[in-house]
Amino acid sequence: MAVDEALARVHARGRALPTLRLYAWNPPAVSVGYAQALEGEVNLEECRRAGVDWVRRPTGGRAVLHEHELTYCVVIRQSLLPGSVLATYRRLAKGLAGVLRRLGLDPVLAAPSGRASRRTAACFDEPSAHELLVAGKKVLGSAQVRRDGVILQHGSLLLHFSPGRLAQFLPGLSPERLASRAAGVSGLLGRPTGIDEASRAFREGFAQELGITLRPGDLTPEERELAETLLPRYAHPSLQRPGKGVR
């Protein structure tokens, strides 16, 4: 999270290109949204027992278990991706649909439900209107924040989904309901799908669908130094209060 915030800040200063970052988590962790409560919505004692970390994202949305999944981060100036929040979500969803198709899936955009969203702690418990479904199930969840003219969007692509494992860390969730709402790529394809395959599909499908060129890169010295400075905010649980987003 510190790296992603650093990418957004340096991009806002005009000293870095738009960025797509892909990564996995070790050890596993539960991330919660910018304004989401931590205690009461995440079973912290169970996380400690299982060796699962927790962290607050600078982006919005609800809780995600980062285990057997691929996390993406997009950082881009609003001037390069103009429009409302919903419009930019849908524009990026076009690229994400290309990722899923590259993996052999057939995604569709979730239709507006016409009703108030169910209050739930879990990102994968219910789709938003800008998100993609495969066979009626959510396989990829996204959340966004805008600061200093920059869009930072996070997302999680489920490679393997275990409803019982997610419910273990988020109180009050039904594994049966979760199983009816979300699925992993491996389960949908009927074969194991690993990080390398998913990352390759992400780079190729996202770039092709959006008509952009991606090139590999490392953190700049400025990004790396800023990430180190920001790290205590994300590493120390006492700083993990709702509303602590990108500054």
- Facing residues of 215 across strands? none
Tell me how many degrees the CA angle 185-188-192 measures, rounded to the nearest 5.
Answer: 55
Residue type, 28: P
Please state, in angstroms and rounded to a whole number, the distance separating the CA atoms of residues 27 and 50: 10
Please state, in angstroms and rounded to a whole number, the distance separating the CA atoms of residues 143 and 56: 12
Q: Which residues are tagged catalytic?
A: 123
Tell me how many degrees the CA angle 9-246-51 measures, rounded to the nearest 5.
Answer: 110
Q: What is residue 148's DSSP assignment?
A: T
Please give the span between the terminal C-alpha atoms of the chain, in angstroms, as a whole number.
13
Torsion of CA 143, 147, 149, 152, to 10 degrees: -30
**In angstroms, how far apart are the furthest CA atoms of the chain?**
47
Angle between helices 195-210 and 85-102 (to 10 degrees): 120
Output the DSSP codes for 110-160: PPP-SSPPP--SBGGGS--TTSEEETTEE-EEEEEEEETTEEEEEEEEESS
Please state, in angstroms and rounded to a whole number, the distance separating the CA atoms of residues 93 and 97: 6
Q: With contact defined as beta carbons under 8 Å apart, do 171 and 88 qualify?
A: no
Q: Which residue has the tokens 């016409």?
A: 114
